[in-house]
Amino acid sequence: MEKILDRFLRYVSVDTQSCETSETQPSTEKQLKLLRMLRDELKAMGIQATLDKYGYVMGTLPATPGVKAPKLGFIAHVDTAPDASGADIKPQIIEDYDGSDIPLCGVPGLYLKPSEFPELLEHKGQTLITTDGTTLLGADDKAGVAEIMDAVQYLVEHPEIPHGEIKIGFTPDEEIGRGVVKFDVKKFGADYAYTMDGGDIGELEFENFNAAAATIRIQGRNVHPGYAKGKMKNAIRIAEELDSLLPANQKPEYTEGYEGFYHLIAFNGSVEEATVTYILRDHDLDLYEEKKAVVRRCVDFINAKYGEGTATAEIRHQYYNMRKQVEPHYHIIEKAIKAMEMEGIKPKVQPIRGGTDGANLSFMGLPCPNLFAGGLNFHGKMEFVPLENMEAASRVILNLISLFAK
């Protein structure tokens, strides 16, 4: 049986970065390389598996004869975030971590420091996998992919373990909010599912942000600066002014828990025209709608000041909070809690300060809470994952399968 670390390192070696501006499904061809690998690996285990034209891998492990249990799904996404490069990843493996600063050797002078990321100290004595400082790592969500594959392989190699029918799903494009837009829930065939896409050990989430993306375009007017008085409209400065109108205390770096935010993720432009892009997030649906209204009011203010048509806004809904879809099936949360406690893990039931494929899947009729995959500091060069977290997540999957079989 392949060790989970070796499996994880194989998966992160494949560049699977998604692309928000692409109009294809999946958004990048390179994601298909890993998706094909996963399909073929499932088939090599003797599991029926398919890869469809939209980039969804679906596999089925038949139930043990005589076991009557709900059909249980486990889902993870293969793409990595556009926020940082996912190409040519060079993981560093730190065994028996001693709590000191970790040099990220690809960038001289760059360190992963407990003084900046105190959660590192919770993993002293463990084996950490980090980046080399030049790319992200890809534990989001290739840790989840590896954990599912590790658990499935264990079941295949231990047929004496009774289980119901197990559904395996791997998706593209989660990081750009399009992970399951064409996912065929009926074809997948699960009664309940879990995404393995959370953070540190013990995390269990069944509520997430309501989410939208806002793109605001500013039309300026360029005039030779020597003759610009009373004529020039500098699109860059107008875009800066619009950003200053948004609540300063509702930025990601100032919020936590159930607090929502406006997050400026891109700013591009010249004197003639500029574009700013935000993501809007809130767990409360009314506050989410108010955030969209605030953006529109800011645009109206700019147009009133600089002339109609100066600013235009496109606001796109991305996903809703899945809580009201999962809560009626609360036993799947209780089983997840029990599965962790069986491993001596203290469950951390908390809201996701982000999104997950499980949100949209839950609204598509497949209740789908989110379990920890073990990684931390996602989407950047400070990302890392403790090996022990991945091993524990794989065991939690097996515990869940056993609990449902009973």
Answer whether 52's CB lies under 8 Å from 145's CB: no
Kindly list the domain boundaries of the chain, sorted by start residue: 4-208+321-405, 213-319
pLDDT digits (tens, 9 = 90+) for 237-290: 999 999 999 999 999 999 999 999 999 999 999 999 999 999 999 999 999 999
pLDDT digits (tens, 9 = 90+) for 60-113: 999 999 999 999 999 999 999 999 999 999 999 999 999 999 999 999 999 999
Kindly indicate the confidence band of residue 354, based on its pLDDT and cuts at 50, 70 and 90: confident
Q: Quick one: which of 353, 357, 262 has its CA closest to 313?
A: 262
Q: Quick one: which of 59, 64, 66 has its CA closest to 152?
A: 59
CATH of domain 4-208+321-405: 3.40.630.10
Q: Quick one: which of 36, 62, 71 has its CA closest to 155?
A: 62
| CA-based torsion, 231, 237, 243, 244: positive or negative | negative
pLDDT digits (tens, 9 = 90+) for 212-235: 999 999 999 999 999 999 999 999
Answer whether 377's CB lies under 8 Å from 130's CB: no
* Residues recognised as catalytic: 79, 174
pLDDT digits (tens, 9 = 90+) for 284-308: 999 999 999 999 999 999 999 999 9
CATH of the structural domain 213-319, one choice from 3.40.50.300, 1.10.10.10, 3.40.50.1370, 3.30.70.360? 3.30.70.360
Q: Specify the long-range contacts of residues 259-265, CB closer than 8 Å, at least 24 apart.
A: 260/209, 260/284, 260/287, 260/288, 260/291, 262/291, 262/294, 262/295
Beta strands 192-198 and 72-77 are: parallel
Torsion of CA 381, 351, 176, 91, to 10 degrees: 20
Reduced DSSP (H G I as helix, E B as strand, rest coil) percent helix, strand, coil of the chain, to 5: 35, 25, 45
